[in-house]
């Protein structure tokens, strides 16, 4: 198997995101505020952090000429002490459905 057969590409990322969203749509709404396994973060915070990771990867590797520095020039913040420091946050008033649907007017896919 050559390297081209094992490389991860944009289609792979889209497929993983689609599978994750499909699974999350069936999650108990109360579970979103529960601790995520052994983490100190809630499931909501953990998923925000994953969305933040995907955004950061797109910002770094989606460019024709990726930045050479190790840090991207984005300001991060945290909603609470001990919570993840992110660039991306989902409006909590939108609830779990807002989290997995995508931006207003969008299909989420």
Question: CA–CA distance from 25 to each of 10, 13, 58, 108 (Å)?
Answer: 23, 18, 24, 12
31-67 confidence digits (pLDDT tens): 999 999 999 999 999 999 988 988 888 888 777 777 7
This prediction has a pTM of 0.74
Give 1's pLDDT tier (boundaries 50, 70, 90). very low
Q: How does DSSP classify residue 42?
A: B
9-39 confidence digits (pLDDT tens): 778 888 888 888 888 888 898 899 999 999 9
d(CA 50, CA 53): 5
Calculate the CA 98 to chain-centre distance: 14
| Sign of the alpha-carbon torsion through 101, 52, 19, 12 | positive
13 forms bridges with which residues in the sheet? none
Helix extents (H) in the chain: 3-6, 10-25, 43-61, 95-101
Strand runs labelled E in the chain: none
Give 73's pLDDT tier (boundaries 50, 70, 90). confident
């Amino acid at each position: 198997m050559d390297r081209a057969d094992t490389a991860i590409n944009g289609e792979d990322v889209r497929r993983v995101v689609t599978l994750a969203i499909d699974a999350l749509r069936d999650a108990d709404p109360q579970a979103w505020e529960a601790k995520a396994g052994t983490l100190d973060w809630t499931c909501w915070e953990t998923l925000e952090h994953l969305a933040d990771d995907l955004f950061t990867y797109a910002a770094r590797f989606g460019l024709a000429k990726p930045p050479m520095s190790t840090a991207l020039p984005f300001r991060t913040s945290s909603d609470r002490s001990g919570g993840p420091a992110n660039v991306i946050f989902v409006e909590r008033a939108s609830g779990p459905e807002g989290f997995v649907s995508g931006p207003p007017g969008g299909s989420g896919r």
